[in-house]
Structure 1
Amino acid sequence: MSEEYEGVGDPRLQAEGELALARMAWEGGDLSHAADHVAGALAYDPVLPEAHELLAKLAAHPDGGPGLFTLGDEVFLGTAVARAHVLAYAGEHAQALQLLISVQSHQVEGRWAHVPWVLDPDLPGRLPAQELGELFGRLVPALPDPVPQERREALEPYVELVRNSVLAHPDDPTLGWIGSMLIRRAGHAEEAAELAERAYAAQPSHMAAIAAGSAYRNLERWDEAEQAMRRALSHDPDNLHLRTDLGELLHTAGRSDEGLGWVEAVLEEDPDHESAFPTACGMRFERDGDLAHLVRLADHLREHPDNGHADRVLAQHCAAQPWLSGQSGPTESVIDVLFQVLEKEGEPGGGGSLRVSAPESPSAFMAFHRAVPGFVVEVTGVPEPDPRLTVPELYAKGPVKEVTRRVWTYAGVVAAPAVPPPDERVLEAVARVAAAPWRHLPAAVERASELAGLPLDDLLGVLVHPPEQPFGQAVAWPYWIRQVQALACLGIAWHAREQPWGESERREVLIDLAYGPEDWVTEAALLALVATAWVDEDARADVAELLAWRYMAAVKAAATRPVTLLDSLRHLVLAAPDLHPDVRALAEGRPYEGE
């Protein structure tokens, strides 16, 4: 459905404007244009009384009725709503509800059903129970489970319709359990449990038991939820989805080993089960924190891209992990000072000075100057090992012997871009893909695919000449620059993807960036290496070695001076598949027996 009228100005004012045009067309006898503008008014304000008054006139006109609101291949949302109401005026309530539910499924938060005919307690008596159940069954899968609190008010007419339907058809158990599923999603779990139990008592079935179990789960009444799920299984003991759901329930109730046992039993029958495999990966990750479980889930999702459950489980468990669902925050002292300045002075127009004892990430200084351009920052010393040098210049060990590409150049302690600014179109493309965090690393790689084919030199230029940030707040600059750098490096990981990883230019460039002077770009390049390993099994061993040596170089440097990137690098290393156990032990703070 088209939503072309949404999100422009004040909805009520827009609705009144459309209504004024509709009245002019009505008074001029132009029913078609009057209908178009009434539909526009309803799209902006579905309950505007004056729009409904005019709609009733159009419905009653000899040349009016549903024919004024025809639905083509591209359906305008307001037209569908208007047609539903006109059908209801004509007594075609089943068709009217079907249309209204289609609109509600498309935009759950809209108050499309807040009209008298839907709330009429006599309405369900005019329709067969089976038809009502089918209508509810169309809406249920379109709703989040549960619907967020702020969006539930829009669904209250359907909750009332369920209540009235059950009263009108008290002997129909199917209507009861389907209605239970709907009102539970709308936040009425207690009532949903009672409704499902009545349905089960009238006619025991696995669906009624599932409805009851789901309601008890929402209420965190774990024993009753388990009993209901076991009842469901007694009706359908070979249902692998049901057995997985019971395992999830037990896990959520605090019986993790027992819950995982149920899910693993499903996998013994179907090792690639669409629900059990993601669920087991998530449970195992919660049990031991080993990211290898999430990497396996990412592999599964790559092979089964339509598995929405796998995507949700992966996103859920990546959400709290640094770098797995968005860039990690900055830790430099100069950024701490920036936040203090902004908190004290708001959006300062200029002036002020700052002295720091050592060079920090050049990108951090860039963020500082973008946020408060009038400040003067002076670096008073250089510790050892020198953070301005590349890793090969500092340490002979490791797989990287030379860094040939640099995006920063130093004149004394002052860093400046070593590459020219990118083309404006590249800046716009990177800004577009950097506008939001990613739900998990494979999603970040997928998003960065929009940058595939952009000139490599331009992507390098973005790292030190970032686009303007879209938030309009000085405090956002550090986060924006880090996000832009992360997506630009992920874009570099798409460069010439036809080349085998081990011989590829993208590998060479990311290594140069990762092993260069300490900077936020280091983190962004390492993220791109980690993300590559997540989606390319052939790159995993190589990436694990590259991450390990870069992290150990940072650990060695941290023995004699602060390394602001160290904790971030630790998280990136721990996110790398196939990491050597000794390096993992070092990153986790456990005894390490390597060199």
Structure 2
Amino acid sequence: MSGADGVADPLLSADGEVSLARLALGDGDLTHAARHAARALTTDPTLPAAYALVVELARRADGGPDLFAPAGPTTVGTVVARAHALAATGDPAAALDLLALAQRHEPAGAWAAVPWLADAALPARLPPDHWFRLVGVLIGAVDEPADDGYRAAFAPWLAAVRGAVDAYPGQGRLAWAASILARRLGHHADAVTLAELAERREPSEQAAIALGYAYRAQGRYDDAERAWLRALHHAPDNLAVYSDMAEMLAEAGRLDDGIDWAERALATDPTHDCAAVVRSALRYRRDADVDHLVGLADRLRTVPGDVHEARHADQALATESAGRPWLGYVPAGTEAVLSVLRQVLADPDAGAHIDLTVSAPEPPSALLACARALPGLAVTIGDVPSPDPRHTVPEVLDVAPVRAVFGRVWGYHGRTAHPVPAPAGPDSVAAVTGLVHRWRHLPAAYDEAVRLAAVPLPDLLGMLVHPPEPPTADPGVWPDWIRLVQAWACLGIAHHRVDEPWPRSVRRATLVDLAYGPEDWVSEAALLALVATAWMEPDVRRDVAELVAWRLVAAGRAAQTRAVTILGSLAALALATPDLDPRIRDLAADLATREAP
């Protein structure tokens, strides 16, 4: 059924199913009545008329819970209807088991918003072991932190579990399990109360661990530390607690103490994957040495993606990469023309035609971004400083161990840059733009870019200087959009003919040409692709480290006599490069600090 606007109304659909069920019931067709009642619950599990109909069908002499027995693949509504039927006929244990399975299948569904689950007498009708198993099923359905929809859907469950905790005052493990569920649902104060109760009732390793987590969720780090020390008193060899302690102390600002706990775990068991992941992440946070994160990437490459170690390493990489230029996002350009662009776009009185004079050539991509954002912009370029940014690195830096650049995407007529390759075809444009987004971390970006392996190389090069339209009409997005397109196009080049040995490969030669070509945003994007390749292919790391180092040295030398707008970004790329010479890393750190916006 549809509303006035033609869009299906779930409530009308549920009411309609109840009406059809009533008609079937009037004809004596209980099977069809049960089917429509289950469909109504699927649409709206809180509809009183649907619930009442299920109860009526269950209690009829010619009906019963088997009217809702699944026959092969079934819907969640049928499972929920059977649960209600079982509850109505005196089998709350089986009813709760089914309802919990439905909740786990669709955690945001309001499956538990029914009167029988809120019955104050229900908790005592099931043994505590059964409640404990149910809580385990529910915990597995909730990630932390849960969103508001989950909290609402699980509210009846949490109330029932609290009732069970009260009904069995001697059960410590039921209280700490309830604490875990409450914490995951965002009820931190309740989680602390329940875990404290568990420790009073029945001191145990699990109760202390649950209490430590509850304190941590409240930011009570000292209390959490003491709780976890009690847990280790019960079980000194629980190295998972060591890893949790390490993360928590780092979260509390005690980074060295956290690293110490991770190292203590590894001293006991060098193969403990959680401790190894935590130590790498915390060492990076302390030392800013990207090789610690590269170690996590190596774990991702060598273990199956569905195991805990891989998921932990992936999450640690994402966490440590967030907010880091090139590791987690493409940094914005810093050119003077971009500042002018922002000022013009913010001025409602700016005219359609704008004349702009820049004192020296700026990266052609930056000028392109301004031209796309402001079609009426006319740019006059002043003197060309030395070393000439229009030249390639081998032309201006005679000590770099790089052969001449053979392929350029920017050529020059005097001081004006023009694209060399032709625009990409529509299929190639669609392939690249389909990937243009921020990434979780470099290994994730590299892996996603494998979808561009079949895009012809000329098209990937064309995308660097003929960027497609952005997905929004806001002209202010052009600079960041172009930088993202260039980054993904170069990551695509990194997957071109991957069967070729790296030293003589087309992908290496092309990326080196781009990185060492005229000074531009393309240089940054090409270096990014080289760096990402080094993260994923250990055999190329020394070569890439040298390429990045010499490109940074060239930019640093040029900056002694003129502005190099991409210098800070190149420094950030160097800091993201595996196996970089420590002297170059120190230089990059100094340049990144000095060039920070």
Distance of 1:49 and 1:10 partners within structure 2: 26
**Partner AA of 2:470 in structure 1:** Q
8 Å CA contact 1:513, 1:522 repeated in 2:
yes
| 2:17 paired with 1:22 | yes
- Residue 170 of structure 1 corresponds to 169
Tell me how far 1:12 sits from its aligned partner: 9.6
Distance of 1:365 and 1:590 partners within structure 2: 24
- Residue 299 of structure 1 corresponds to 298
1:261-298 deviation line (CA, Å, top 9, x unaligned): 22212212322311100111122122222222112222
| 2:117 paired with 1:118 | yes
Tell me how far 1:107 sits from its aligned partner: 4.8
Picking from 387, 395, 398, the partner of 1:396 is: 398
Distance of 1:152 and 1:448 partners within structure 2: 37
8 Å CA contact 1:14, 1:44 repeated in 2:
no
- Residue 548 of structure 1 corresponds to 549
- Residue 509 of structure 1 corresponds to 510
1:63-78 equivalent positions in 2, closer than 5 A: 67=67, 70=70, 72=72
Residues 150 and 404 of structure 1: CA distance in aligned 2, closer, same or farther (over 3 Å): farther
1:514-593 equivalent positions in 2, closer than 5 A: 514-589=515-590
**Partner AA of 2:364 in structure 1:** P
Tell me how far 1:353 sits from its aligned partner: 1.6
**Partner AA of 2:298 in structure 1:** D
- Residue 441 of structure 1 corresponds to 442
SS at match of 2:170: coil
8 Å CA contact 1:21, 1:34 repeated in 2:
no
1:54-203 equivalent positions in 2, closer than 5 A: 67=67, 70=70, 72=72, 80-81=79-80, 84-148=83-147, 152-203=151-202
Larger Rg: 2
- Residue 5 of structure 1 corresponds to none
Residues 39 and 456 of structure 1: CA distance in aligned 2, closer, same or farther (over 3 Å): farther
TM-score for both structures, normalised by structure 2:
0.87
SS at match of 1:410: strand
**Partner AA of 2:70 in structure 1:** T
Distance of 2:517 and 2:413 partners within structure 1: 16
- Residue 409 of structure 1 corresponds to 411
Residues 300 and 583 of structure 1: CA distance in aligned 2, closer, same or farther (over 3 Å): same
8 Å CA contact 1:453, 1:495 repeated in 2:
yes
1:199-278 equivalent positions in 2, closer than 5 A: 199-278=198-277
| 2:339 paired with 1:336 | yes
Picking from 304, 316, 322, the partner of 2:319 is: 316
8 Å CA contact 1:22, 1:33 repeated in 2:
no
Residues 401 and 192 of structure 1: CA distance in aligned 2, closer, same or farther (over 3 Å): same
Residues 128 and 289 of structure 1: CA distance in aligned 2, closer, same or farther (over 3 Å): same
8 Å CA contact 1:41, 1:51 repeated in 2:
yes
SS at match of 1:142: coil
Residues 194 and 520 of structure 1: CA distance in aligned 2, closer, same or farther (over 3 Å): same
SS at match of 2:558: helix
8 Å CA contact 1:433, 1:487 repeated in 2:
yes
8 Å CA contact 1:206, 1:233 repeated in 2:
yes
8 Å CA contact 2:443, 2:536 repeated in 1:
yes
8 Å CA contact 1:137, 1:178 repeated in 2:
yes
Distance of 1:518 and 1:32 partners within structure 2: 75
1:347-386 equivalent positions in 2, closer than 5 A: 351-357=352-358, 358-372=360-374, 374-384=375-385, 385-386=387-388
Tell me how far 1:322 sits from its aligned partner: 0.8
8 Å CA contact 2:327, 2:442 repeated in 1:
yes
- Residue 486 of structure 1 corresponds to 487
8 Å CA contact 1:318, 1:440 repeated in 2:
yes
Distance of 1:109 and 1:464 partners within structure 2: 46
SS at match of 1:392: helix
Tell me how far 1:164 sits from its aligned partner: 1.4
Distance of 1:391 and 1:342 partners within structure 2: 35
- Residue 6 of structure 1 corresponds to none
Distance of 2:296 and 2:56 partners within structure 1: 57
Tell me how far 1:219 sits from its aligned partner: 2.1
Tell me how far 1:160 sits from its aligned partner: 1.3
Residues 48 and 560 of structure 1: CA distance in aligned 2, closer, same or farther (over 3 Å): farther
SS at match of 1:589: helix
1:279-294 equivalent positions in 2, closer than 5 A: 279-294=278-293
Residues 133 and 363 of structure 1: CA distance in aligned 2, closer, same or farther (over 3 Å): same
Distance of 2:346 and 2:64 partners within structure 1: 61
TM-score for both structures, normalised by structure 1:
0.87
SS at match of 2:9: helix
- Residue 595 of structure 2 corresponds to none
Tell me how far 1:342 sits from its aligned partner: 3.3
SS at match of 1:334: helix
Tell me how far 1:71 sits from its aligned partner: 7.0
Distance of 2:82 and 2:506 partners within structure 1: 58
Tell me how far 1:166 sits from its aligned partner: 1.0
Distance of 1:66 and 1:440 partners within structure 2: 51
Residues 383 and 299 of structure 1: CA distance in aligned 2, closer, same or farther (over 3 Å): same
8 Å CA contact 1:545, 1:579 repeated in 2:
yes
Tell me how far 1:114 sits from its aligned partner: 3.3
Residues 276 and 554 of structure 1: CA distance in aligned 2, closer, same or farther (over 3 Å): same
SS at match of 1:200: helix
SS at match of 1:576: coil
8 Å CA contact 1:69, 1:82 repeated in 2:
no
1:94-141 deviation line (CA, Å, top 9, x unaligned): 444444444444554444433333333333223222111111112223
**Partner AA of 1:440 in structure 2:** H
SS at match of 2:379: strand
Tell me how far 1:391 sits from its aligned partner: 1.8
8 Å CA contact 2:14, 2:43 repeated in 1:
no
1:206-236 deviation line (CA, Å, top 9, x unaligned): 1111111111222232332222212211222
Distance of 1:180 and 1:584 partners within structure 2: 47
Distance of 2:37 and 2:512 partners within structure 1: 60
Tell me how far 1:258 sits from its aligned partner: 3.3
Tell me how far 1:431 sits from its aligned partner: 2.0
1:337-388 deviation line (CA, Å, top 9, x unaligned): 3333333449x9x92324141433333333334444x322323324223323
Residues 253 and 100 of structure 1: CA distance in aligned 2, closer, same or farther (over 3 Å): same
8 Å CA contact 2:262, 2:275 repeated in 1:
yes
SS at match of 2:316: helix
Q: After the TM superposition, which of the residue ranges 384-393 and 487-496 deviates more from structure 2? A: 384-393
Tell me how far 1:558 sits from its aligned partner: 2.0
Distance of 1:134 and 1:516 partners within structure 2: 64
Q: After the TM superposition, which of the residue ranges 77-86 and 526-535 deviates more from structure 2? A: 77-86
Residues 67 and 232 of structure 1: CA distance in aligned 2, closer, same or farther (over 3 Å): same
- Residue 4 of structure 1 corresponds to none
1:44-59 equivalent positions in 2, closer than 5 A: 46-49=45-48, 52=51
Distance of 2:424 and 2:53 partners within structure 1: 55
**Partner AA of 2:13 in structure 1:** E
RMSD, matched Cα: 3.3
Tell me how far 1:540 sits from its aligned partner: 0.8
8 Å CA contact 1:362, 1:519 repeated in 2:
yes
8 Å CA contact 1:196, 1:211 repeated in 2:
yes
SS at match of 2:273: coil
SS at match of 1:433: coil
**Partner AA of 2:527 in structure 1:** L
SS at match of 1:152: helix
**Partner AA of 1:19 in structure 2:** A
Distance of 2:344 and 2:39 partners within structure 1: 48
- Residue 330 of structure 2 corresponds to 327
Q: After the TM superposition, which of the residue ranges 539-548 and 514-523 deviates more from structure 2? A: 514-523
8 Å CA contact 2:117, 2:160 repeated in 1:
yes
**Partner AA of 1:433 in structure 2:** L
- Residue 464 of structure 2 corresponds to 463
